[in-house]
Structure 1
Amino acid sequence: MKRRRQKPSALFILMHSWSPIARDSKSAAQPRSSLAPMRCYFNLVNGTEEIIDYDGIEVSGIEQARTQALKAIAELRQEDSDLAGEWKNWRLDVADSDGQVLFTISLAIDLH
């Protein structure tokens, strides 16, 4: 059984501190046009633990979500390079409002 952490990680704090599109109170279940922003959730997973992003951020599309995820990972590594080894078995699953994983980024990869 996977253990879920409730405490927000530094990655989520970074993600939510520079959300490029203002958050609103619209339901994630509402249909969206192709030009409307989408809400993405950035979940950290390592096989036995999950750190779930319950808030998500709104982005204009998958490419912007990928850009934001890579920026957040880079900033996290830059803030505390000593912790980079602790994240090597983790991955970032980026999911849509239906919970479908759109893409995954391993935290073990070199982003340079």
Structure 2
Amino acid sequence: MRFKLIVTMVNPNITNDIIETAKAKGATGDVILSGRGTGIEETKLFGISVADKTDVILFLVEEHIVKPIMDGFNEECKIEEPGNGIAMVLSIDKVAGLDRQIEAIKNKLREEQL
């Protein structure tokens, strides 16, 4: 199996929507980190005011569900709207500790093929 890491940096007001969307599209879990930062503009980070907090949400997912999740972020969470945040996808070379998730993914793929 090939995995990707979806990294989102979002306004905390849409954190729950981001998580619900990702899980509805097949993500099996998430990690939420609180953050702040600076961007190209003095008081903004990706359209979000530096004074505001930013949630960094990580999803380690099987590569075939990346597109539905990212599409969901755009359509259902309006991540493209100014001030909502950004999402990016990173390639992962190796993964350890996901035995239960891998089994759940395999079972879901079997069900989809039937």
Relative to the length of structure 2, the TM-score reads 0.35
Relative to the length of structure 1, the TM-score reads 0.36
If you compute each CA radius of gyration, which structure gives the higher value, 1 or 2?
2
- For CA contacts below 8 A with separation 6 or more, give which structure has more relative contact order: 2
The structure with the largest helix share of the pair is 2
